[in-house]
Amino acid sequence: MSTGARRPARTVLTALGVAALLAGCSGSPSSGSAQRTAEAAVQASAARDSAGLCALLAPATAQQLEQQESAPCSVAVQSLDLGQPSGSGAAQVWGSSALVTVGSDAVFLTDVNGRWRVLAAGCTLREEEPADCKLGGG
Amino acid sequence: MRRFLRDNGLTLAFAALFVASLVGQALSGVAEYNSQAVADGVDQISLLSYLGTSDFAVDVAENWQSEYLQFLLYIFLTVWLVQRGSPESKELDEVGRESDEEQRVGEHARPDSPAWARDTGWRLALYSRSLGLVMGGLFLGSWAAQWIAGRSAYNEQQLRQLEQPVSLAGYLASADFWNRTTQNWQSEMLAVASMVALSIYLRQRGSPESKPVGAAHADTGVEG
């Protein structure tokens, strides 16, 4: 219809550019810090540093763990084995979520107040279905 | 100033409605985003942060691409296809690109014709297709933005659900991409088909999108 043809193309192009710019300006922390957080969590687990590991968990993950184990986080994580912090891969960051492979397992992270925190860890990735995780993920 | 507002009222009104609608989309979008964030056990975000998310970008782009596709198809198909009785159609015997005289180009250009319409070379060829080319470019650009931003939003959701992210090619083959695409396409095509058909029999007095109220149903290509 003729009304559409009257829309000013320059305004639309500018709006497209602004939208693309905004979409590229994610406020999430960096992929490097995601990798370091994932490594630190696995390191804390391997070193039996319960307080250190609990400090790196996303609130929802810690809460879920405490409910499952009927124990405080620092006690509940003691039985976890999240593998060894060897050879982490580069983080894949998508918006407020990130995925890092540490050793043979995967760690899922989420942005909590500008810092990466562990959503799930000790995960085995699977095709077309959620990962099987030792920590987090219901 | 008043003259400028009167002379450009249609563009300005739609521009204002566009901005108001976009604000409404942003406000409702961030509410929905945060509702899902609570369900997923992750952080909620501010309105300003939401404007920078791929969720907002894909929701905007998927609607833009379908609108530009609608106008692109309308521009091209109305060259070759007609609808008896519709003011949206050309006269039934004008099918095709029409003669230079009818199009007022080259030696048939008038003093007030655009400069490139007086040319006979590549400038005329380009200018004769400029509306379709720009609409086509805007469609492809918006669709590409939907593809890229949609993949980002999809992958964020995948990670929240502890699933693996997909590649650009993988997203192009995903149900999410084609569902977003076709659900917008179908509504645009329905709207155009409705407008073409309903304007044969119905009228809106004073609107150039309608035939004059007293025009016969069989009159084609007549705008009020």
The whole-angstrom separation of Cα A122 and Cα A136 is: 9
pLDDT for residue A29 = 81
Give the ranges where A1-138 is alpha helix by DSSP (H).
Answer: 2-5, 9-24, 31-46, 50-55, 59-69, 73-76
Q: Please tell me the predicted confidence (pLDDT) of residue A89.
A: 83
Domain that holds residue A94: 29-136
pLDDT value of position B178:
98
Classify residue A101: in a domain, yes or no.
yes
Q: State the complex-level ipTM.
A: 0.81
B163 and A3 within 8 Å at the Cβ level: the answer is no
From the CA atom positions of chain B, what is the Rg in Å? 23
Question: Which residue blocks in chain B are alpha helix, DSSP H?
Answer: 2-7, 9-40, 47-51, 54-80, 100-103, 115-118, 122-127, 130-160, 168-172, 175-201
Q: Output the pTM of the full model.
A: 0.86
Residues sharing a CB contact under 8 Å with residue B27, sequence separation 6 or more, in sequence order = B47
Q: How far is C-alpha A111 from the geometric centre of its chain's CA atoms?
A: 7
Proportion of chain B above pLDDT 90, given as a percent: 94
Flag whether A1 is in a domain.
Answer: no
A114 CB within 8 Å of a chain B CB:
no
Q: Is residue A12 part of a domain?
A: no
Q: For residue A49, is it within any domain?
A: yes
Q: Which residue of A has its CA nearest to B133?
A: A9
* A118 belongs to a structural domain: yes
Please indicate, yes or no, if residue A122 is contained in any of the structural domains: yes
Task: Determine whether the interchain pair B42/A5 forms a contact, defined as Cβ–Cβ distance below 8 Å.
Answer: no
Domain count, chain A: 1
Q: Mind listing the pLDDT tens digit for each residue in A24-57?
A: 444 578 889 999 999 999 999 999 999 999 999 9
Task: Write out pLDDT tens, residues B4-37.
Answer: 999 999 999 999 999 999 999 999 999 999 999 8
Overall average pLDDT of the B55-60 stretch: 98
Position A9 in a domain: no
pLDDT tens figures, B74-125: 999 999 999 999 999 999 999 999 999 999 999 999 999 999 999 989 999 9
- For residue A13, the model assigns a pLDDT of 53
- At A107-123, the pLDDT tens digits run 999 999 899 999 999 99
Among chain B residues, CA nearest to A113: B43
Asked if the Cβ–Cβ distance from B209 to A1 is below 8 Å, we say yes
Q: Is residue A59 part of a domain?
A: yes
- B195 interaction partners in chain A (CB closer than 8 Å): 1
Q: Is there a contact between A97 and A119 (Cβ–Cβ < 8 Å)?
A: yes
